[in-house]
Amino acid sequence: MSEISTGKLWGIGLGPGDPELVTVKAARLITAADVVAFHSARHGRSISRGIAEPYLRPGQIEEHLVYPVTTETTDHPGGYQGAIDEFYEQAAARLAVHLAAGRSVALLAAGDPLFYSSYMHMHRRLADRFEAEIVPGITSVSAASAALGTPLVEGEQVLTVLPGTMPVEELTRRLRDTDAAAIMKLGRTYPGVRQALSDSGRLDDAYYVERASSTRERVMAAADVDAADVPYFAITLVPGPAPTTPIVARDKAARATEATPAAPATAGEVVVVGLGPGDTAWTTPEVTTALAEATDLVGYTTYIDRVPVRPGQRRHASDNKVESERAAMALDLAKRGARVAVVSSGDPGVFAMAAAVLEVSAEPQFEQVPVRVLPGLTAANAVASRVGAPLGHDYAMISLSDRLKPWDVVAQRLSAVAAADMAIAIYNPASSQRRWQVGAMRDVLLAHRAPETPVVLGRDVGGPTESVRVITLGELDPDEVDMRTLLIIGSSTTAAFQTREGTRVFTSRRYGTTV
């Protein structure tokens, strides 16, 4: 190919769903790309972007390509195919603008870019004009086979990959003529797929895998599946004949306990633990013991990574936006006899997993599962200790995140606590996508607090990039605050003074105290 002065198109295979199954090369290229493009249905939730999120960086351009239709009808003059073709042309034109401007574009594709993927439609429309390279990914067939835990094909056996959208008669014929099969594109097609499995005599040997490699993964006998509950991201596998013991229907939680000696259901439990803010010295001996005794760890990937790897202990990591699903998985594991430690940073009862686990544990199906909560050093106390005792009197903890509660509620609570003259520890002040709340908080507080009120900014306290600064409320710059920062806003009795060790801050328990 001749020298190219324009940008490069990367077709990035993300694998089946688990962010840890993204290849090293794919992760590197996602982070480096000028533009990250991804598809979604009209609801706007992109599975591909969710997988790639750990590897995105601030400042990247995102191109969200929204399908006009998926399975529904359309009034487009060209029908369904006409609507889709027009969408692909428009999407390609959007990406071509970036490529012509010299920007690199990473187009995300769940699984492999050339295996039943939308990427190939962009490749056909762009690769003749711009340099393009494909980064392969783990396919859903491989992930489903791994979830099944039995060989899909052996020796000279033939594997046939089939779309569930085929006519039942053709699907039946192909199932009869192959050793092993993987049937994709399920969802609404499952009744026809089940009929073909039955007509070909393969139903009793077929298994159903849903959302392979994700925290919502399920594995069942194909004959036991309720067709009304089958999502598109499911697959049916028919393993080739082998002298192996048939696999019984089970979900991911059940499989996770198979390596553990059988135990009665009452032997399982969930222990929700807090690791402390960052320094391993701040993890209590009680928590360390619970982690060592656990058969399974469940938690946000960043926190799970802080726990030393132990042989035989299973680790179920996920992102930080699936609290209820994570809690249900932990309780389900324990229901089947596992000793589960749900891992949080800081204290598990402070904007962490304890509330989520207890909320889900109130469901009747988990009434026999014991749940314990082991405390941890809070981030607020850790930051406070670095400057003295800014939380020495009454104080409140407030999260600025409006992901689970509306901003009006946050502002109301800030105003009430400020009017009550209490120090405030501010959690979750900002993120790469949520920037305006810190400035709004400052304005609410200034209606009740003097601009000279001491403010402590503690970032990554206990971690390798720790920094702690003391400023005033009037000086607070939102651009200096991110998700890893905790703020402590003083009250009217909070004072700051200089020592040889730096600025010290305390909140007196007696009104009228001055330095």
Q: How many CB atoms lie within 10 A of CB 10?
A: 26
Rounded CA-CA distance 295/260 in Å is 8
Cα separation, 297 vs 342, in Å, equals 6
Q: What is the rounded average pLDDT of the residues 101-116?
A: 95
What is the DSSP code (8-state) at residue 341? Answer: E
- The pLDDT of residue 372: 96
| pLDDT reading at 83 higher than 80 | yes
Strand partners for 161: 182
pLDDT higher than 70, residue 332: yes
In the numeric block, which tokens belong to residue 461?
């306290």
- Looking at the predicted structure, is the pLDDT value of residue 73 above 90? no
The per-residue pLDDT for 266 is 43
Secondary element (H or E) of residue 144: helix 140-148
Question: Sheet harboring 502-507: ordered strands across?
Answer: 388-389, 502-507, 494-499
pLDDT computed for residue 264 by the predictor:
40
As a whole number of angstroms, the distance between CA 482 and CA 293 comes to 35
126-152 tens-digit pLDDT: 999 999 999 999 999 999 999 888 889
**pLDDT at 262 (0 to 100):** 39
- For the beta sheet containing 395-399, the strands, ordered from the edge strand earlier in sequence to the opposite edge, are 395-399, 423-427, 485-489, 454-459, 467-472
Name which of 100, 102, 106, 118 is nearest 28 in CA terms.
106
pLDDT at 244 over 50: no
Lowest mean pLDDT across 150-164, 297-311, 314-328, 432-446: 314-328
Strand order in the sheet with 159-163: 159-163, 180-184, 234-238, 207-210, 218-221, 250-251
pLDDT more than 70, % of the chain: 91
Residue 263 has pLDDT above 60, yes or no: no
Give the dihedral sign, CA 359/361/365/367: negative
- Mean pLDDT over the full length of the chain: 88
Q: What is the pLDDT of residue 148?
A: 82
Paired strand residues for 243: none
Q: What is the mean pLDDT of residues 149-156?
A: 87
Mean pLDDT for 423-429 is: 95
Model-level pTM? Answer: 0.50
Residue 430: per-residue pLDDT: 87
Q: Is 213 a residue whose pLDDT tops 50? A: yes
Report CA 500 to chain centroid distance, whole Å.
Answer: 44
Residue 97: is its pLDDT beyond 50? yes
- Note the pLDDT of residue 253: 42
Q: What percent of the chain has pLDDT over 90?
A: 66
pLDDT surpassing 80 at residue 291: yes
Q: What is the pLDDT of residue 245?
A: 37
Q: Residue 360 pLDDT > 90, yes or no?
A: yes
| Predicted local distance difference test score (pLDDT) of residue 515 | 46
Q: Has residue 273 got a pLDDT over 90?
A: yes
Give the pLDDT of residue 58: 92
Of the candidates 112, 120, 199, which has an alpha carbon nearest to the alpha carbon of residue 161?
Answer: 112
**Residue 243 pLDDT more than 70?**
no
**Helix ranges restricted to H, 311-436:** 323-335, 353-361, 379-387, 407-419
**Average pLDDT for 225-234:** 86
CB 469 within 8 A of CB 454: no
pLDDT band at 242 (very low <50, low <70, confident <90, very high): low
Q: Which of 404, 411, 209, 414 is nearest to 320 (CA)?
A: 404
Of 16-25, 43-52, 193-202, 311-320, the least confident = 311-320
Average pLDDT over residues 107-136: 94
Structure confidence at residue 438 (pLDDT): 93
- How far from the centroid of its chain's Cα atoms is residue 491's Cα? 37
pLDDT score at 481:
92
Per-residue pLDDT band for 512 (boundaries 50, 70, 90) equals low
Comparing 36-45, 106-115, 312-321, 448-457, the range with the smallest average pLDDT is 312-321
Does residue 375 register a pLDDT over 90? Answer: yes
Distance CA 243, CA 343 (A): 40
In this predicted structure, the answer to whether residue 395 has a pLDDT above a threshold of 80 is yes
pLDDT exceeds 60 at position 5: no
pLDDT at 78 over 60: yes
Largest alpha-carbon pair distance within the chain?
89
pLDDT at 203 over 70: yes
- What pLDDT, on a 0 to 100 scale, did the predictor assign at position 380? 96
In this structure, of 23-32, 267-276, 304-313, the range with the lowest mean pLDDT score is 304-313
Q: Which of the four pLDDT bands, split at 50, 70 and 90, describes residue 247?
A: very low
CA distance 188 to 177: 25
3-state SS class at 350: coil
pLDDT-wise least confident of 62-71, 116-125, 165-174:
62-71
Strand 8-13's sheet: what is its strand order? 61-66, 35-40, 105-109, 8-13, 131-135
Answer yes or no: are the C-beta atoms of 13 and 26 closer than 8 Å: yes
Model confidence at 178, pLDDT cuts 50, 70, 90, reads very high
State the pLDDT at residue 70: 65
At residue 163, the pLDDT reads 94
* φ and ψ at residue 406, rounded to 5 degrees: -70, 155
pLDDT of the residue at 147: 86
Spell out the residues 6+ positions from residue 248 whose beta carbon is closer than 8 angstroms to its own. Answer: 221
Average pLDDT over residues 64-82: 74
d(C-alpha 16, C-alpha 22), whole Å: 9
Task: Label residue 412 left, alpha or beta by phi (over 0 means left) and psi (-120 to 50 means alpha).
Answer: alpha
Tell me how far apart the alpha carbons of residues 386 and 376 are, in angstroms, rounded to a whole number: 17
Q: In sequence order, which residues have a C-beta less than 8 Å from that of residue 479 and are 6 or more positions away?
A: none
Cα–Cα distances in Å, from 476 out to 106, 445, 453, 464?
Answer: 37, 11, 10, 24
